[in-house]
Amino acid sequence: MLHIVNKSPGERATLASCLAHVRPGHSVLLIEDAVYAATKGHAAAGTVEAALATAKVYVLMPDLEARARAGAVIDGVVPVDYRGFVDLVTQNPRVQSWL
Amino acid sequence: MVNDGPYQRQSSDSAYLFCKAAIEAGHQIERVFFYHDGVNNATKLTEPPQDDRNVVARWAKLAEEHGVDLVVCVAAALRRGIVEQNLAQGFRISGLGQLVESAIQSDRLVVFGD
Amino acid sequence: MEETGIVKKFLFVNRKAPYGSVYALEGLEVVLISAAFDQDVSLAFLDDGVYQLAKGQNPKAIETKNFSPTYRALEGYDIEKLYVERESLQARGLGEEDLLVDVQVLGAAEMAALMDEMDVMISF
């Protein structure tokens, strides 16, 4: 299953809600303002690192580049482009957007 | 499914770039269903500044070039003043059943919104 | 209404409070339409979405329609699988007795397992 989060953890609790429902083998994709959570030194980085123990975490690089944080991706988080986003949707049998 | 209007937030841009990448990868985007404030993506009265992207025209172009069915929910559209008279080219107004039908017939449904 | 021959497991994921935004109301409209397609429909209420089911809603003074009785009418549309997350209720000082309709209360892990069984998830 693919979980998509699009809001900064500083604005909404959607990342936390998402991570509370991630099961082993699931994938989490951070897009739009949620990409900040995938950067080193962010207050939410710890929760993302913890999620990496059981799930895969991806970050949409075009969104991170736009926000000047492309150089700060947490180790273990996989950068993807829109093509990678498409592949994640096709590889996972179901998708939940945590809006 | 696009649940948010253009410009105010990024949802419509993300959905568009996702659709474009999916088509480039050889997938078929059967339909984009515009709901909630997403119906505002379908107004032909939009006039963004020259140096900005034209979100509405971009969707219309995608529909024209790749046969993507752009459906605007009639109930949500009526609430927000989107009617046939101001509907942009490439979009059509129809019922919520079109969303459910797409969900049944397509392999995947991805929701973009606020 | 529609004969597709395909029956998918739909989960409508309601995570937003009513009145402050239109998602609860327009979300419910999708749920009602889905009933015409003979699909396997479930509803999940978590986070602020649990407020949608709170008993005693009275939006008269904010001049908004009270659509909460519709949740009780879902049974008439053969939509009977309503799941509410326990942690979300607890975090808001609510219990099952505060809800206006019969639901099944699930822990977050059970909710995650439920999601994992679905074909389509439409989230508002």
- How does the average pLDDT of chain A come out, rounded? 98
Residue C5 has pLDDT above 90, yes or no: no
Specify the number of domains making up chain C: 1
User: A95 vs B22: CB contact, 8 Å cut-off?
Assistant: no
Give the C-alpha separation, C32 to C24, whole Å.
Answer: 12
Q: Say whether pLDDT at C4 is over 90.
A: no
Chain B residues with CB-CB distance to C6 below 8 A? 104-105
C40 backbone dihedrals φ, ψ, rounded to 5°? -90, 95
Find the residue in B nearest to A95 (Cα): B110
C51: domain range?
9-123
Q: Is the dihedral of CA C113, A96, C107, C32 positive or negative?
A: negative
In CATH terms, the fold of domain A2-98 is Hypothetical Protein Ychn; Chain: A, (3.40.1260)
User: Which distant-in-sequence residues (6+ apart) come within 8 Å of B23 by Cβ?
Assistant: B29, B62, B66, B68
What is the pLDDT averaged over residues A47-55? Answer: 98
Residue C2 has a pLDDT of 54
**How many beta-carbon pairs below 8 A join chains B and C?**
53
Residue C106 pLDDT exceeds 80 = yes
Mean pLDDT of B64-79: 98
CB contact under 8 A, A85 and B18: yes
Per-residue pLDDT, averaged over A76-84, amounts to: 98
Let me know if residue C2 belongs to a domain. no
- State the nearest Cα–Cα gap between C29 and chain B, in angstroms: 8
Query: Would you say residue A88 has pLDDT above 90?
Result: yes
Residue among A17, A23, A94 minimizing CB distance to C15: A17
Mean pLDDT value across residues C40-52: 98
pLDDT tens, position by position, B43-52:
999 999 999 9
Name which of B18, B24, B111 is nearest A99 (Cβ-Cβ). Answer: B111
- What's the residue count for chain B? 114
B-chain residue closest to C122, CA distance: B111
Quote the pLDDT of residue A92: 98
CB-based contacts of B15: which residues, under 8 Å, 6+ apart? B2, B32, B110, B112
Report the CATH number at residue C34: 3.40.1260.10
Asked whether residue C4 is assigned to any structural domain, the reply reads no
pLDDT tens per residue, range A36-48 = 999 999 999 999 9
| B73 is an active site residue | yes
- A touches which chains (3+ CB pairs under 8 A)? B, C
If you measure CA to CA, which chain C residue comes closest to B106?
C120
List the domain boundaries for chain A: 2-98
* CATH of span B11-105: 3.40.1260.10
The reply to whether residue B110 touches residue A62, judged by beta carbons under 8 angstroms, is: no
C120 forms beta bridges with C10
Cβ–Cβ under 8 Å, residues B54 and B20: no
Single-letter amino acid code for the residue at B51: D
Q: What is the DSSP letter of C52?
A: G
Residue A32 has pLDDT above 70, yes or no: yes
φ, ψ of residue C82 to 5 degrees: the values are -110, 120
Average pLDDT for B59-67: 98
- pLDDT classification of C37: cutoffs 50, 70, 90: very high
Could you tell me the two tokens for C28?
Answer: 């419910």
Average pLDDT, chain C: 96
**Would an 8 Å CB–CB cutoff place B76 in contact with chain C?**
yes
pLDDT of residue C109: 98
Interface predicted TM-score of the whole assembly (ipTM), two decimals:
0.97
